[in-house]
Structure 1
Amino acid sequence: MSTGSALRVGIFVFDDAEELDVVGPYEVLAAWAALSELRPDVLTFSADGGGVRLAKGLRIVPDRSADEITPMHVLVYPGGRGTRALAHDSDHLNWVRKMRNEVSLMTSVCTGSLVLAAAGLLAGRPATTHWGAFDELAALDPSVAADTEARFVDDGDVITASGVSAGIDMALHLVARLDSYQMARQVRRAIQYDPEPPV
C-alpha cells in the first residue's frame, strides 16, 4: 500500500478498555513498524490526550489526543466495559462518525463493535463482536449481519474482530492487507504468536 504520507495507525484508548484489546494489536502493529520498509506510524491516543485506566487496572499514557492524531489511515477501536457508556454518548458517536469520513479503514476489537454499531457504521453490514455481546449488538442495530463464528470480519473499509485475543489475528490480517502476507508471517514469528492453548 502506498500513501502520500506515512501510514498512520491510531489505537484509541479509554477508561475501562480491555487490556489485550489495546496491547494485542499494538504489539503486532509496533513489530510491523519495526520490520517493514513502509515504517508505519503506530500511536495510541485518548480523547483528551490524558492517561487512562484500563478494565483490569493497567494505566496507559497515550501518545496523542484525538485532536492531534489526524491524519489517520487506520483507527483501531478496542472493546471492554467502557464501550457501554461510549455507545450512548452522543458527542462521542458524532466523533466516531467524523472519523468514518476521515479514516480509510475503521477496525474494532471485541465490544468496540458496539460503538461502531451505535454510530451507524455497521448498518446492514456483516460484523462480529465478543461472543457474549451479540444481543447487545442486535439491540443497538438489528440490521447488522452478525457473524458468530468468525475471528474477524473484513468488510472492506470496516473490520471487526471477536473477543480479546482475536484482535491479534485481526492486526496480523491488517499487516497482510496493508503490506504483504510475507510481512505478516514475519511479524507473527517475531512476536512468537503460535497459540497452543493448554486447556
Structure 2
Amino acid sequence: MDTLTQHSTQAKKRNVAIFIHNGVEILDFAGPSEVFASTEGFAVYTVSLTKEPVISQGFIKIIPTYSLTDCPKPDIVVLPGGKTGPFIENKPLIDWIKHTATQAEVMLSVCTGAGLLAKAGLLDGKQATTFHSYIESLQRATPNAKILANTRFVDNGQIITTAGVSAGIDGALHVVAKLKGQAIAHQTARYMEYDKWKPEEGLIVNPSNKGAVENK
C-alpha cells in the first residue's frame, strides 16, 4: 500500500446514523451522539423518515440531516427509544433497517429501540436487553430471543442492545472500545466526565461458543 492510499484509509471516518422520530427520548439519542461525536474517526448525523422536524419529549425540535431515502451509507446505526410503538409497524423504516444491517458494522439499539431490531428479525436467536419496563413486551414480541434484565448492554457481534436512557452511553462507549480500543473509549468517557461506565456491567455473547454469554 502506497503512502497516499494508507493515509486515505486511516483518515476514513465511520458513518454513524442516529435515527430520530417524534417522541424519541432525549438522552437515548443525545448520549450516543455525544460519545461518537467526541471520538475521533466518526462522522455522526441524524436520519428520520423524512426531513420534517421531529419533536423529542414534547419540547425539543430537531431537524434531521437526512431522510431514509438520501441517507449516506451508515457503518453504525443507532436506534434510540422513546415512543417507538408507532414506528415498529412502519414498513419503509423496517425495510431500511433490514437493508442497512446487511452492510453495517454495528446496529446499536437503545431502550425501546430494540423493538425495531426485533421487528426487523435481527434479534431472533440472540440475547438482548432493553428498558426495564419493556422487557416483558419485547420478550413476547420476539419469542426466539432471550431478553435479559439488569444488564447495561448485550453484544452479539454486529447487533448490540442496551438498557434504557443513560445505558445508551455505555453501549456507545462499548462500540468505541470494540472498534478503537479501551484506551480511546476511556478517554472519551473522561472527556464526558461520565463516571458511570463500568464495562463489566455488559455482556458479550461469544459466537464461537453457541451463544454462551461471557462477562466483558
TM-score, L = length of structure 1: 0.89
**Deviation readout 1:120-144 (Å, 9 max, x if unpaired):** 1101100000000012102211111
Q: Counterparts of 1:171 and 1:21 in 2: how far apart (Å)?
A: 11
- Amino acid corresponding to residue 26 of structure 2 in structure 1: E
Aligned mates of 2:136, 2:43 — CA distance in 1: 36
1:93, distance to aligned residue in structure 2 (A): 1.7
- Number of residue pairs the alignment of both structures matches: 189
- Matched with 1:47 is 49
Gap regions ≥5 residues in structure 2: 1-8, 198-216
Q: Determine which structure has the larger strand proportion and give its number.
A: 2
Partner Cα distance (1:194, 1:165) in 2:
12
Q: Which has the higher contact order (CA 8 A, sep 6+)?
A: 1
Aligned partner of 1:162 in structure 2 is 163
How far, CA to CA, are the matches of 2:77 and 2:71 in structure 1?
Answer: 10
Name 2:67's counterpart in structure 1. 65
Q: Deviations over 1:74-123 (max 9, x none)?
A: 00000011x11111223322222112223221110000001111111101
Unaligned runs of 5+ in 1: none
Report the CA distance between 1:150 and its aligned residue: 1.1
Structure 1 residue identity aligned to 2:64: P
The share of aligned pairs that are identical, in percent, is 35
Distance, in Å, in 2 between the alignment partners of 1:96 and 1:169 is 22
Say whether the 8 Å CA contact 1:106–1:158 is kept in structure 2. yes
SS in 2 for 1:102: coil
- Counterpart AA for 1:40: F
Q: What is the Cα deviation at residue 51 of structure 1?
A: 1.6
In structure 1, what is the equivalent of residue 117 of structure 2?
116
Q: Secondary structure of the equivalent of 2:151?
A: coil
Normalising by structure 2, we get a TM-score of 0.82
